[in-house]
């Protein structure tokens, strides 16, 4: 994996420009736990692309360096195959907040203008948050801190920008699914002939209706499957399979080597790479390497990596009284208002739900949890929780959690690296 992602970070046959791009983590990533517990914030997927991929594309894919918290710097280095927290000597660097959504607009235009040879250094802020900083001849010390903040650029003048959008809270990831799919679809299919599907296997009895629909070479659409783009674009990536009588309603993305199981209904959702999706999934995102392949409902939810939900697992995404919901904020340790009525479950990496697991509206489940039994689990489960609503929850033994992670990853041809093992161990020790 590292080699292929590394290639994505290095421009091919393009003269090296002056500017280096550095995505950084600030001091507010804890609000995105547990999803950011095991990955850099810019590795969160919005739609087809991650925040990192979105930002790199927005700036023309320049040479890129990455800043990451000490806890996850080693796993981030493995993910991308590049040194972390290192700036080449004398490089002119545009620092961009990893939570910033690099969409077309005044803020992105201004940052492009600022990051040019000869332009003076400055920082860009909005409502007190550091959006970006243009630093000619950047000092390596700027990426040695655990978090990059405004105070690190005190010697630079400040410019206020407006209209920048961020991922500030977990529910923003759900808000962004639909616009991200539309934005990403346009970038990924620019210049492509959407009617040329010669490299894909599409059965004569499959139905493709509406526009636009992109089916990548190597993808398979089986008999009776329906791709309905009347409500938004659909992108079926390489080696993905949409099985018999499954329905995919746009906007939707089915990632590389992902599977939509027989009779599944996917609507307004992202099924990330090497995921298996079945039952009914609405307005939800599966990051990668996760399974929710049986009957049951997943709505307005976000699943990390290496998650498995058993048959007939269900999420509530709407209160019976139709009221606004609250959601647990790990940074504050409290439930906070969301001003959202529809919100499901957010699940950290390596967690599992057994058959018939029921999640209440707006639930947060930490990393490496194991949930079974009847009834609704609490609306917040800390990492390494093991148990059921009936019997209660105890601490999931670390050695057992690591054994399960190894077994699950081996089924997909992956190995639990020492860096990943160290992250899980540190999260376990922090819990206790």
Reported as a single tens digit per residue, the pLDDT across 290-332 is: 999 999 999 999 999 999 999 999 999 999 999 999 999 999 9
Instruction: Give pTM, 2 decimals.
Output: 0.94
Q: Are residues 56 and 110 in the same domain?
A: yes
Of 395, 354, 348, 353, nearest in space to 368 by CA? 348
302 and 195, same domain (yes or no): yes
Residues 54 and 135 grouped into a single domain: yes
Residue 33 CA, chain-centre distance (Å), reads 12
* Residue at token pair 């599977």: 259
Q: How confident is the model at residue 389 (pLDDT cuts 50, 70, 90)?
A: very high
Structure tokens at 154: 């005190």
| The two three-digit tokens of residue 395, written as one number | 């601490």
Residue 276 and residue 378 in one domain: yes
Phi-psi region of 6 (alpha: psi -120 to 50; beta: other; left: phi over 0): alpha
Please check whether residues 128 and 231 belong to one and the same domain. no
Residue pLDDT, tens place only, 336-378: 999 999 999 999 999 999 999 999 999 999 999 999 999 999 9
**Is there a single domain that holds both residue 55 and residue 94?**
yes
Task: Give the DSSP H/E element, type plus range, for residue 399.
Answer: helix 398-410
Q: Are residues 114 and 139 in the same domain?
A: yes
**Checking phi first, is residue 341 left (phi over 0); if not, alpha (psi -120 to 50) or beta?**
alpha
- Show which of 168, 200, 230 is a domain's final residue: 168
Note whether 384 and 266 are same-domain residues. yes
Q: Quickly tell me which residue has 């806890």 as its tokens.
A: 71
d(CA 397, CA 384): 8
In the predicted structure, residue 6 carries a pLDDT above the cut 60: no
pLDDT for 396 beyond 90: yes
CA 161 to chain centre: 26
Q: Give me the mean pLDDT over the 69-93 stretch.
A: 94
State the pLDDT confidence band at 257, using cuts at 50, 70 and 90: very high
What is the mean predicted confidence (pLDDT) over 148-165?
95
> Residue 421: which H helix or E strand, with range?
helix 418-431
Same domain assignment for residues 381 and 398: yes
Q: Where are the extended beta strands (E) located within 54-190?
A: 64-66, 92-97, 122-126, 129-135, 158-160
User: Is the domain of 92 the same as that of 203?
Assistant: no
- Is the predicted pLDDT of residue 16 greater than 50, yes or no? no
Q: Given a cut of 50, is residue 11 above it in pLDDT?
A: no
pLDDT of residue 9: 53
Last residue within a domain, chosen from 168, 192, 212: 168
The residue range of the domain holding 108 is 2-168
DSSP state of 42: G
Same domain, 176 and 104: no
Contact status, residue 355 vs residue 373, Cβ threshold 8 Å = no
- Residue 223 CA to residue 341 CA, distance in Å, equals 37
Are residues 394 and 262 part of one domain? yes
Beta-carbon contacts of 166 under 8 Å, excluding residues fewer than 6 positions away, are 97, 99, 100, 101, 129, 172
Q: What is the dihedral of CA 42, 170, 347, 48, to 10 degrees?
A: -50
Read off the CATH number of the domain in which 45 is found: 3.90.550
Q: Is the pLDDT of residue 14 over 90?
A: no
Query: Do residues 353 and 313 make contact, with C-beta atoms less than 8 angstroms apart?
Result: yes
Tokens of 136: 């000619």
Residue 238: Cβ within 10 Å count: 15
pLDDT given at position 239: 98
Which CATH number fits the domain that encloses residue 362? 2.160.10.10
The order of strands in the sheet holding 385-388 is: 201-202, 220-221, 241-242, 259-260, 276-277, 291-292, 308-309, 352-353, 370-371, 385-388, 392-395
Residues 6+ apart with CB under 8 A from 265: 246, 247, 249, 279, 280, 281
Residue-level pLDDT at 89? 86
Domain boundary at 168, 183, 213, which? 168
Over residues 23-71, the pLDDT tens digits come to 999 999 999 999 999 999 999 999 999 999 999 999 999 999 999 999 9
Q: How many domains is the chain partitioned into structurally?
A: 2
Is residue 296 left, alpha or beta, with left meaning phi > 0 and alpha meaning psi from -120 to 50?
left
Report, as an integer, the average pLDDT of 104-129. 95
């Amino acid at each position: 994996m590292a080699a292929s992602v590394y290639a994505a970070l290095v421009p091919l046959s393009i003269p090296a420009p002056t500017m280096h791009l550095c995505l950084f983590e600030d001091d507010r990533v804890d609000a995105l736990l547990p999803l950011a517990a095991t990955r850099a914030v810019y590795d969160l997927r919005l739609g087809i692309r991650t925040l990192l991929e979105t930002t790199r594309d927005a700036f023309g894919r320049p040479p890129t360096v990455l800043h990451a918290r000490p806890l996850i710097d080693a796993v981030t280095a493995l993910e991308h195959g590049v040194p972390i927290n290192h700036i080449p000597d004398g490089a002119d660097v545009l620092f961009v907040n990893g939570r910033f959504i690099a969409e077309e607009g005044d803020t992105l235009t201004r940052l492009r203008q600022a990051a040019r040879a000869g332009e003076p250094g400055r920082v860009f802020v909005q409502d007190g948050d550091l959006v970006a900083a243009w630093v000619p001849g950047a000092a390596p010390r700027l990426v040695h801190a655990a978090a990059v903040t405004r105070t690190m650029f005190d010697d630079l003048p400040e410019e206020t920008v407006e209209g920048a959008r961020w991922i500030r809270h977990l529910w923003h990831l759900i808000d962004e699914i639909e616009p991200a799919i539309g934005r990403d679809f346009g970038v990924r299919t620019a210049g492509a002939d959407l009617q040329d599907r010669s490299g894909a296997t599409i059965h004569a009895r499959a139905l493709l209706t509406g526009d636009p629909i992109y089916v990548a070479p190597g993808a398979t659409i089986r008999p009776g499957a329906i791709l309905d783009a009347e409500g938004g674009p659909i992108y079926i990536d390489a080696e993905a399979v949409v099985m018999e009588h499954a329905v995919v309603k746009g906007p939707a993305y089915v990632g590389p080597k992902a599977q939509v199981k027989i009779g599944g209904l996917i609507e307004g959702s992202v099924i990330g790479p090497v995921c298996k999706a079945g039952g009914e999934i609405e307005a939800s995102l599966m990051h990668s390497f996760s399974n929710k392949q049986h009957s049951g409902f997943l709505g307005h939810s976000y699943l990390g990596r290496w998650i498995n939900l058993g048959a007939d697992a269900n999420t509530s995404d709407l209160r019976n009284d139709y009221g606004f919901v609250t959601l647990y904020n790990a940074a504050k340790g409290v439930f906070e208002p969301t001003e959202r009525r529809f919100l499901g479950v957010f699940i950290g990496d390596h967690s599992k739900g057994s058959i018939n697991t029921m999640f209440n509206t707006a639930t947060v489940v930490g990393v490496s949890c194991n949930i079974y039994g009847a009834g609704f689990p609490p609306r917040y489960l800390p990492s390494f929780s093991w148990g059921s609503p009936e019997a209660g929850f105890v601490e999931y033994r670390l050695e057992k959690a690591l054994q399960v992670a190894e077994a699950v990853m081996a089924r997909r041809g992956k190995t639990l690296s020492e860096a990943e093992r160290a992250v899980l161990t540190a999260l376990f020790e922090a819990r206790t």
